[in-house]
């Protein structure tokens, strides 16, 4: 397989940020510690690359196999057949390979084909919301509630070009929109304009079936629903880093939608007890649905504010649920609420600087509760899907200072990079952290050509290397309570 090295992919504009937010992030990625190592010019270049990467999807779709019900090899064969069927109705007859991740045995990796910059654009144009547009770039079809604008006479079966309204300016029900938008591919209308906008009932189902997305990833809509869970690679790694053991009692503090909860239960062989909490009722229902779908019975789900999960009564609550007495859990996962700036693709973030920087106090409250709920000798894993220092390395420095009985631990698997300079942590501590930084993929990335996939064997290790680098932005720290 021939791979073209590229410096930067500029199919889409760099992520749009408010001026003060961009300045804040610039200060993070050009902090004094980093500048002393990289120099001003290199730090500037890397920051601009980061802004570009965030608006593009990762180079691979990663799928976690529910090993409680199926083997990775069985699922790999089934997915190959499913992708082949999807491609019969799409742009290419070439087989897309599916790789077993060598270090994360229950994860399968599927290369994302693209970007395809020469797609024809059609006269009928549909505009979708930014969130919907991001999902399309990760392999989804356009669901009807995501459609904001459609041509006056659009009918079922029409071939349309789809654009994403990246700044949220399009009025729902419009016939056209000329504001800031990006082309994300072509598809076939499954509904007419009147079906979408002229109804009193809540609309659901696929509105546009994508046939030529700018980035091709397989759709997982109704595909092996009890055997696979669509999960970004770093998110799947978190549960392995926690190393849950059969028979243990484990707490997932901020668990929705349940990807990590169900992964923990599967890694335990569904033997033991996994307590999952979230304070939003409809999110709690999602966790329950996912646990049921994946056939996992060791999970108990509670609608509860995790900050208040510590009971002052050593006997705990009478019902076995929260709040819990101190030192109730063998392991605790705190996948903390965060600013989410590592999510990809993300072409525009409308949040204010106040919103972006509001998470650190909340995370510290949750962390303090987690430490108190953890048994001596127990493991605490802290993770976020963001790229700031304040929510990641600074939190580790704070934790080590405030809880001297916590020690940082080596992570297995460790496929990301170490921690980032700027929070005053030692070199040894930074090596123990795991940060996934999309910038790392830019200077060693590949343009993926589907017609050459049959020759991938010689470069499989290169592709796995790329999959480990070209991810969402993510952070993991592992502690033991000594």
Q: Which residues are catalytic?
A: 385
Strand partners, 434: 476
How buried is 364 (Cβ within 10 angstroms: 0-12 exposed, 13-18 middle, 19+ buried)?
middle
Question: Under 8 Å CB-to-CB from 85, ≥6 apart: which residues?
Answer: none
Is 359 in contact with 391 (CB distance < 8 Å)?
A: yes
Tell me the backbone φ, ψ of residue 251, rounded to 5 degrees: -115, 125
Going by C-alpha positions, the residue among 419, 350, 416 that lies closest to residue 168 is: 350
How far, in Å, CA of 441 to CA of 8, rounded?
9
Tell me the helix, strand and coil percentages in the chain, rounded to 5: 35, 25, 45
Find out whether the peptide bond into 413 is cis, omega within 30 degrees of 0.
yes
Assign residue 251 a region: left if phi > 0, alpha if psi is -120 to 50, beta otherwise? beta
DSSP, residue by residue, 215-248 = SB----TTSSTTTEEE--HHHHHHHHHH---TT-
Question: Under 8 Å CB-to-CB from 19, ≥6 apart: which residues?
Answer: none
């Amino acid at each position: 397989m021939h791979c073209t090295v590229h410096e930067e992919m500029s199919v889409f504009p760099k992520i749009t940020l408010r001026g003060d937010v961009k300045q804040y992030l610039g200060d993070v990625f050009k902090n004094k510690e980093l500048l002393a190592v990289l120099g001003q010019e290199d730090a500037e270049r890397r920051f601009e690359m980061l802004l570009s990467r965030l608006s593009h999807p990762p180079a691979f779709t990663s799928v976690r196999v529910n090993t409680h019900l199926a083997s990775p090899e069985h699922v790999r064969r089934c997915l190959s057949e499913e992708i082949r069927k999807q491609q019969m109705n799409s742009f290419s007859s070439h087989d897309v390979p599916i790789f077993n991740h060598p270090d994360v045995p229950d994860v399968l990796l599927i290369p994302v084909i693209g970007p395809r910059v020469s797609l024809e654009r059609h006269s009928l144009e549909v505009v979708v919301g930014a969130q919907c547009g991001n999902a399309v770039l990760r392999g989804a079809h356009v669901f009807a509630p995501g459609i904001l604008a459609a041509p006056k006479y659009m009918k079922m079966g029409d071939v349309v070009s789809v654009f994403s309204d990246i700044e949220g300016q399009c009025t729902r029900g419009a016939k056209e929109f000329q504001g800031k938008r990006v082309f994300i591919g072509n598809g076939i209308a499954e509904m007419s304009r009147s079906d979408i906008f002229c109804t009193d009932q809540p609309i659901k189902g696929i509105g546009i079936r994508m046939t030529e997305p700018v980035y091709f990833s397989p759709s997982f809509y109704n595909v092996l629903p009890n055997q696979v869970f669509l999960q970004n690679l770093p998110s799947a790694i978190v549960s392995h880093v926690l190393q849950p053991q059969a028979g243990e009692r484990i707490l997932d503090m901020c668990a929705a939608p349940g990807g990590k909860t169900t992964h923990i239960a599967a890694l335990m062989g569904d033997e033991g007890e996994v307590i999952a909490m979230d304070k939003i009722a409809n999110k709690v229902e999602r966790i329950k649905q996912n646990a049921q779908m994946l056939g996992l019975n060791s999970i108990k789900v509670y609608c509860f504010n995790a900050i208040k999960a510590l009971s002052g009564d050593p006997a705990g609550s009478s019902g076995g649920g929260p709040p819990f007495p101190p030192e109730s859990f063998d392991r605790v996962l705190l996948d903390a609420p965060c600013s989410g700036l590592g999510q990809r693709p993300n072409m525009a973030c409308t949040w204010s600087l106040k919103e972006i920087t509001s998470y650190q106090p909340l995370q510290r409250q949750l962390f303090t509760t987690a430490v108190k709920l953890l048994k001596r000798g127990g493991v605490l894993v802290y993770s976020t899907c963001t790229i700031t220092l304040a929510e990641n390395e600074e939190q580790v420095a704070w934790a080590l200072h405030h809880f001297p009985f916590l020690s940082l631990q080596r992570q297995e698997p460790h496929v990301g990079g170490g921690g980032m300079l700027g929070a005053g942590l030692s070199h040894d501590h930074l090596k123990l952290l795991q940060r996934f930084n999309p910038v790392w993929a830019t200077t060693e990335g590949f343009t993926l050509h589907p017609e050459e996939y049959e020759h991938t064997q010689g470069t499989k290790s290169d592709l796995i290397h790329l999959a480990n680098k070209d991810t969402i932005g993510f952070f993991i720290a592992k502690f033991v309570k000594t």
